[in-house]
Amino acid sequence: MEAWLTGTRAELDAAVAALADLGHVIQQGQRWPMGGVDVGRYRLYLRLAVATAAGRHRPALDTGTDAGGELIDLTAARALRRPA
Protein backbone atom coordinates (compact mmCIF):
# COMPACT_ATOMS: atom_id res chain seq x y z
CA MET A 1 0.00 0.00 0.00
CA GLU A 2 1.28 3.47 -0.84
CA ALA A 3 -0.01 6.77 0.48
CA TRP A 4 0.81 10.45 0.42
CA LEU A 5 -0.06 11.99 3.77
CA THR A 6 -0.52 15.71 4.35
CA GLY A 7 -0.77 17.37 7.75
CA THR A 8 1.00 18.96 10.68
CA ARG A 9 3.91 17.15 12.32
CA ALA A 10 1.60 15.87 15.09
CA GLU A 11 -1.03 14.70 12.58
CA LEU A 12 1.58 12.87 10.51
CA ASP A 13 3.04 11.23 13.62
CA ALA A 14 -0.43 10.00 14.63
CA ALA A 15 -1.29 8.80 11.11
CA VAL A 16 2.00 6.92 10.67
CA ALA A 17 1.60 5.27 14.09
CA ALA A 18 -1.97 4.19 13.31
CA LEU A 19 -1.05 2.89 9.85
CA ALA A 20 2.01 1.07 11.20
CA ASP A 21 -0.37 -0.85 13.49
CA LEU A 22 -2.10 -2.14 10.35
CA GLY A 23 1.04 -3.41 8.68
CA HIS A 24 4.80 -3.08 8.31
CA VAL A 25 6.29 0.26 7.19
CA ILE A 26 8.53 -0.51 4.21
CA GLN A 27 9.47 3.03 3.28
CA GLN A 28 8.89 6.40 4.87
CA GLY A 29 9.94 9.45 2.89
CA GLN A 30 11.14 12.78 4.17
CA ARG A 31 8.63 15.36 5.33
CA TRP A 32 8.38 18.09 2.74
CA PRO A 33 7.21 21.47 4.03
CA MET A 34 4.29 23.00 2.17
CA GLY A 35 3.97 26.67 1.36
CA GLY A 36 1.31 29.29 0.78
CA VAL A 37 -1.84 28.77 2.83
CA ASP A 38 -0.45 25.39 3.92
CA VAL A 39 2.56 26.74 5.84
CA GLY A 40 3.10 24.57 8.92
CA ARG A 41 1.89 21.46 7.09
CA TYR A 42 4.00 18.75 5.47
CA ARG A 43 3.71 16.04 2.81
CA LEU A 44 4.97 12.55 3.55
CA TYR A 45 5.18 9.45 1.36
CA LEU A 46 4.54 6.16 3.13
CA ARG A 47 4.71 2.59 1.81
CA LEU A 48 3.34 -0.27 3.91
CA ALA A 49 2.99 -4.02 3.61
CA VAL A 50 -0.52 -4.81 4.80
CA ALA A 51 -1.73 -8.37 5.21
CA THR A 52 -5.17 -9.05 3.82
CA ALA A 53 -7.61 -11.58 5.21
CA ALA A 54 -9.24 -13.77 2.58
CA GLY A 55 -12.99 -13.45 2.60
CA ARG A 56 -12.97 -10.45 4.91
CA HIS A 57 -16.08 -8.35 4.36
CA ARG A 58 -15.32 -4.78 3.35
CA PRO A 59 -18.20 -2.26 3.55
CA ALA A 60 -18.80 -0.14 0.47
CA LEU A 61 -17.57 3.44 0.50
CA ASP A 62 -20.10 6.24 1.06
CA THR A 63 -19.69 7.36 -2.56
CA GLY A 64 -21.58 4.29 -3.71
CA THR A 65 -18.53 2.83 -5.45
CA ASP A 66 -15.95 0.56 -3.88
CA ALA A 67 -12.66 1.13 -5.66
CA GLY A 68 -10.74 -0.85 -3.04
CA GLY A 69 -10.37 2.00 -0.55
CA GLU A 70 -11.08 1.79 3.14
CA LEU A 71 -11.71 4.51 5.72
CA ILE A 72 -9.43 4.32 8.76
CA ASP A 73 -10.67 5.90 11.99
CA LEU A 74 -7.44 7.40 13.34
CA THR A 75 -9.06 8.44 16.63
CA ALA A 76 -10.08 4.84 17.35
CA ALA A 77 -6.66 3.55 16.24
CA ARG A 78 -4.87 5.97 18.60
CA ALA A 79 -7.18 4.92 21.45
CA LEU A 80 -6.05 1.31 20.95
CA ARG A 81 -2.39 2.34 21.28
CA ARG A 82 -2.84 4.16 24.62
CA PRO A 83 -1.75 2.19 27.66
CA ALA A 84 -4.58 1.39 30.08
- For the stretch 32-58, pLDDT in tens is 999 999 999 999 999 998 877 664 555
| Residue 71, Ramachandran bin (φ over 0: left; ψ between -120 and 50: alpha; else beta) | beta
State how far the Cα of 44 lies from the Cα of 15, in Å rounded to an integer.
11
What is the percent of the chain with per-residue pLDDT over 70, rounded to a whole number? 68
pLDDT of residue 76: 73
User: What 3-state class would DSSP assign to 29?
Assistant: coil
The pLDDT-based confidence of 15 (bands split at 50, 70, 90) is: very high
3's enclosing H/E stretch is strand 2-7
